Amino acid sequence: KILITGACGQLGSELTSELRRIHGNHQVVASDISEPNERLGEGPFEYLDVTDESSIKKIVDQYDIKIIYHLAALLSAKAEKNIYLGWKLNVNGLLNVLEVAKEKSLEKVFWPSSIAVFGPDAKKINTPQNSACNPTTVYGISKLAGEQWCAYYHRKFGVDVRSLRYPGLIGYKAMPGGGTTDYAVDIYHKAIKEETFECFLEKDTKLPMMYMRDAVKATITLMNAPPDKISIRTSYNISAISFSPEEIAESIKRKISRFEIQYKPDHRQDIAASWPDSIDDSKAREDWKWKPGYNLEKMTDDILKHLPEFWDLEVPDTV
């Protein structure tokens, strides 16, 4: 069976529904520290605080878990506001999962890293896989440390843990979760509700992004790849799109002509400014044939089409 931690999050909720679609509802145990929302659909749910190793072991034994997708974490903006919890949850939580994977000889573990491991000294355009990583955020520091722990548990104990450095992930099935890139999630909700969108980043701040459907595809493709194809055991760069708030607003205006955006940069501008504009993901393309399916136009079309029905909202007449 499969266990997903952080299943109520933006990625967690979409990965849970896709893995249940593939394997069957009862093969996938969703877990989170928050209450399950009905969008998670049918299937087993457990309350789980990943900072308590014994609780993870209990669920692994109870459901005979063989694979863990460990997604529970504090995202960048939230971790800057609560630096000790950011470290404790993001790193101790991962260590607990790796320790359980080693003790119980689990088949595989997935763990998300992030482009947040890169700092202001990294090449801004097409940041390479082996770039220097000097993150300036707690979130980035925790992800960089986590990558090294994954490589250590693979090298020393043979744990088959695999990881992706996700760019900003944009989906419509969960509300923004405290990420710096989450302006690009919220913007669609405001556009559909025909509210003016206040953007907390400067209009020309380009960031590496990816539609959630591509992120789920990349995750499952990586997890299905034969182990000998995996040449990176810290975490793979992957990329799909790179856009600024101005560019995503333009892609929305082409569909909802009355959509308005205002720019009111806040503390999150400094976080975004420390990250790359775009990422070189050639290793992922070589090793396990990574290829994104959505560009900005296709993502905007798909989200504006599905978001209203998912959240039971009126569709603006211009969509």
Q: Residues, the chain, total?
A: 319
Asked if 308 is part of the footprint of ligand VAH (rule: CB under 6 A), the reply reads no
Number of helices and strands in the chain (H, E): 12, 12
Q: Is 239 in the site for ligand VAH (CB under 6 A)?
A: no
Q: Between residues 252 and 279, which has the closer beta carbon with respect to ligand VAH?
A: 279
Q: Site mask, ligand VAH, residues 25-64, x = CB under 6 A?
A: ----------------------------------------
Report the DSSP pairing between strands 241-243 and 207-211: antiparallel
CB of 169: closest distance to ligand VAH in angstroms?
Answer: 6
181 binds ligand VAH (CB under 6 A): yes
Among 4, 89, 100, 116, binds ligand VAH (CB under 6 A): 116
Compute the least distance from the CB of residue 164 to ligand VAH, in Å. 11
Say whether 183 is catalytic: no
User: Three-state SS for 32?
Assistant: strand
What is the CB neighbour count within 10 angstroms for residue 26? 12
Tell me: does residue 13 bind ligand VAH (CB under 6 A).
no
What the block records as the tokens of 227 is 């182990």
Tokens of 45: 């749910």
DSSP state of 93: H
Helix ranges restricted to H, 8-74 = 10-23, 53-63
Give the neighbor-by-neighbor strand order of the sheet with 241-243: 168-170, 207-211, 241-243
Separation between Cα atoms, residue 176 and residue 181, nearest integer Å: 9
Near ligand VAH by CB under 6 A: residue from 12, 43, 168, 276: 168
Strands (E), the chain: 2-5, 28-32, 45-47, 67-70, 108-114, 161-166, 168-170, 197-199, 207-211, 236-237, 241-243, 261-263
Element housing 241 (H / E): strand 241-243
Q: Which two tokens stand for residue 6?
A: 């952080």
Closest CA to 117 of 128, 129, 133: 133
271, 276, 281, 282 alpha-carbon torsion, rounded to 10°: -160
What are the tokens at 267?
């503390």
**Residue with Cβ nearer ligand VAH (176 or 308):** 176
Name the segment binding ligand VAH (CB under 6 A); options: 44-52, 112-120, 194-202, 287-295: 112-120
Smallest gap from Cβ 139 to ligand VAH, in A, equals 6
Task: Please pick, among 139, 188, 236, 294, the residue that the annotation labels catalytic.
Answer: 139
Based on the shown chain and the rule CB under 6 A, indicate whether residue 12 belongs to the binding site for ligand VAH. Answer: no
From candidates 179, 245, 292, 308, binder to ligand VAH by CB under 6 A: 179
Question: How many residues contact ligand VAH, by CB under 6 A?
Answer: 12
Using the rule CB under 6 A, is 139 a contact of ligand VAH?
yes
Interaction residues for ligand VAH, span 69-88 (CB under 6 A): 75-76
- The answer to the question of residue 119 lying near ligand VAH (CB under 6 A) is no
Stretch that binds ligand VAH, among 17-25, 30-38, 57-65, 114-122 (CB under 6 A): 114-122
Binding residues for ligand VAH (CB under 6 A): 75-76, 114-116, 139, 167-169, 179-181
The set of catalytic residues is: 139
